[in-house]
Structure 1
Amino acid sequence: MADVLRLLLQVAEKAANVARVCRQEVPLFQLLVQEKTGHDKNKEFVQDFKTLADVVIQEMICHDVGAQFPEMTGFIHGEESNKFENGLGESVTVTVCATEVETAALLATVLDGDKMAASLLARAIHQDPATSHTLPEDLDVPLSPSEISIWIDPIDATSQYIDGREEVLEEGHLSPSGLHCALVLIGVYLRNTGEPVMGVINQPFNYKDPATGCWRGKHFWGVSRGNVKACSVSRPEGRPGGSRKGAESLSVVLSPSEKQVVKEALAPLCGGLDKLMYASGAGHKILCVIQGSADAYVLSERSTFKWDSCAPHALLRALGGGVVDLRECLRQSSAGEVVEAEITYHQPRTESKGADIWANQGGLVAYLNPASLHIVIGGLKGKL
């Protein structure tokens, strides 16, 4: 399983390279975007875009993982369909071919014959990153590749990726929007139980070199299986359930579109409405919790999906936290039961259609300390 983690770190970095290449060609990038329609559209947002970068990243990860671990072929799932419509109205199935030349030729059909752009993308897809990833020497996870499946979100916070606003990240501070919110998410879960056991997060646009104008990325990983807990992120210090800065109030991050009733219920826990924090991207908001910029991320809507939460969920579990179904927690609390409703990743909701079969239907709470979860549930009890 350490070999699986090394491979996922490598393919996530390749994915980050693809994301950066697509943004470097601005006129081309504007041609890559097409709006999702029908059952694939995320109904909670006015616009939800699929980019060619999304598709090629997902297919590249499927190709590379399946090539090294054939027993995982057919158990690697992603957000995107690999069907893409070019400017001529032709539907093209995007795949990664055996050679860079063949992949470039296929991509050229998507890009209306733009061979130069297709070659740039194909090079990024087939080129292994030079960076190496150091893992603990004693990392030993008692699992076989035949026991696991993968969820991929090739570019989480697509709207921020498309918009492309460049914000300066400050260590320890939550930054609400910008290019850095776009993340590559690869989550691993058990096929039989849906338990998240491994996660890789790559932030392609973490730092822009002022000398070269080139972006550098940052990666995060975590493993949680039984007694094996390992993470590239250190657990933030501070009192359990509260702010790491010693304040008496909780720090909670929300989506800007969160319901007013939720904001008003959480405000007293956080020191007032003006103390609530807002940020873009589901994966980014959970990463804020992982890094200690917030105690919890609360979402009352069903606007996130398994591919959004699987990877960061595994990191939180490695640090002693988790991601739970909000409405199920509220039901259990109201019934006087022990609050325990961890989200799982293996079973679709067959009564739904399209992407909704994989939605986190009950909303969610991502937390680092169990005390934070109980405070949040207590504040929302009877309000939803």
Structure 2
Amino acid sequence: MADLLQLLLRVGEKAANVARVCRQEAPLFQLLVQEKTGDDKNKKFVQDFKTLADVVIQEMIRHDVGTQFPDMDGFIHGEESNKFENGLGESVTVTVCSTEEETAKLLATVLDGDHTAASLLAQAIHQDLATIEASTDGLTVPLSPSELGIWIDPIDATSQYIEGREEVVEEGVLSPSGLHCALVLIGVYLRSTGEPVMGVINQPFNHKDPTGGGWRGKHYWGVSYGNINVCSVSPPNCGPKGQQGLSVVLSSSEKQVVKEALTSLCGPDKLIYASGAGYKILCVIQGLSDIYVLSEGSTFKWDSCAPHALLRALGGGVVDLSKSLQSTCEGRDHNTELIYNQPYTEHKGADRWANHGGLVAYRDLSQLRSIIGALKGKL
């Protein structure tokens, strides 16, 4: 598991580099955007884009993990279809080839013969990064790769990535929008139970290099299995809070009835709005917000799996809001926690893997109970 974690940290950083390379080439970026249609379209947005960066990152992670851990091949799932249409209307299946030159040649067909851009991407895909600094020595988890599956969200908050606003963000302050919200999410779950056991989050656009070297990223990771709970993020030292001290991060499009119920519980100044499901859960992990509430079924397994594992390592979790509102259990109810191995068979396409009941991400169980109590009977 320590070897798998190190690999996921490396491929997460490679993915971040790909995301940065794609943004550095402005004319190229216009070619990379393609609207999703049909069953793969996220119903929440009028426009939902698939980018070549998304596809390339997903296939790179699938290739690198499958090569080192063949037992996981076939259980590495992502958000995107790997079929891409170029400017000539030709459908190209994007894969990572055995050599940089072959990958560049394939990507050039997607990029309408732009060999320079294709070579830049292929170089980022095939680069061999040094080991990422992480305190994983001595991490022993009694699990085999053959027991595990992976969910990849190659670029969460794609709309923020495409729009590309470079917000100035202070350390320790939540960013409501902009490149800061775009994340690479890699979550590992148990095939048997669907529980998340490991997560890697890479934030490619964490801060600008003060010497003019462009964007620099930051990574976070966590492992939670049985009595083993290890996380790169220290638990926030918040101390006991009354209900009026609770802060909740929401989507700006959240239902008015939810906003009103939470305003009554927490106070009007404690509702914060931000973009990206993964980023909002990361805000809870970092202690920038106490709780994330979403009443709609507009997130997916690839959005929540990785950050869910980090929250579990910190003593928290992510629950299905609808199930929690119906539950009579006062303690930790494992039946309401999100799981990652079961599709909704009555749905098609991406919706088979949606978190249809909405969700609540939390660090503290008593705070979760307060939120559920405030929303009971309102939805």
Report SS of the residue matched to 1:89: coil
Deviation at 1:239, TM superposition (A): 2.5
Alignment of 1:291 with 2:269, yes or no, is no
Q: Who is 1:250 aligned against?
A: 246
Give deviations 1:289-321, integer Å, cap 9, x for gaps.
000000000000000000000000000000000
Write the letter of the residue equivalent to 1:344.
I
Deviation at 1:339, TM superposition (A): 4.5
Q: Who is 1:23 aligned against?
A: 23
Matches within 5 A, 1:24-39: 24-39=24-39
Matches within 5 A, 1:1-384: 1-130=1-130, 132-240=132-240, 242=241, 248-272=244-268, 274-333=269-328, 339-340=333-334, 341-384=336-379
Report SS of the residue matched to 2:5: helix
Give deviations 1:336-362, integer Å, cap 9, x for gaps.
897541000000000001100000000
Deviation at 1:171, TM superposition (A): 2.1
Q: Determine if contact 2:246/2:270 at 8 Å carries over to the other structure.
A: no
Q: Determine if contact 1:151/1:186 at 8 Å carries over to the other structure.
A: yes
Deviation at 1:139, TM superposition (A): 1.0
After TM superposition, the score normalised by the length of structure 1 is 0.96
Structure 1 CA distance, aligned partners of 2:174 and 2:371? 19
Deviation at 1:271, TM superposition (A): 1.3
Structure 2 CA distance, aligned partners of 1:185 and 1:338? 26
Q: Determine if contact 1:223/1:230 at 8 Å carries over to the other structure.
A: yes
Q: Determine if contact 1:182/1:204 at 8 Å carries over to the other structure.
A: yes
- What RMSD over aligned residues (CA atoms) do the two structures have, in Å? 1.4
Q: Determine if contact 2:2/2:137 at 8 Å carries over to the other structure.
A: no
Write the letter of the residue equivalent to 1:379.
A
Give deviations 1:155-212, integer Å, cap 9, x for gaps.
0000000000011222221110110100000000000100000000000000111322
Q: Determine if contact 1:22/1:29 at 8 Å carries over to the other structure.
A: yes
Q: Determine if contact 1:332/1:338 at 8 Å carries over to the other structure.
A: no
Deviation at 1:131, TM superposition (A): 5.4
Report SS of the residue matched to 1:54: helix
Structure 1 CA distance, aligned partners of 2:131 and 2:4? 17
Give deviations 1:235-276, integer Å, cap 9, x for gaps.
001224x38xxx84210000000000000000022212x431
Write the letter of the residue equivalent to 1:230.
V
5+ long unaligned stretches in structure 2: none
Write the letter of the residue equivalent to 1:26.
A
Write the letter of the residue equivalent to 2:378.
K
Deviation at 1:122, TM superposition (A): 0.2
Write the letter of the residue equivalent to 1:180.
H
Structure 2 CA distance, aligned partners of 1:277 and 1:228? 32
Structure 1 CA distance, aligned partners of 2:235 and 2:330? 31
Report SS of the residue matched to 1:206: strand
After TM superposition, the score normalised by the length of structure 2 is 0.97
Q: Determine if contact 1:249/1:269 at 8 Å carries over to the other structure.
A: no
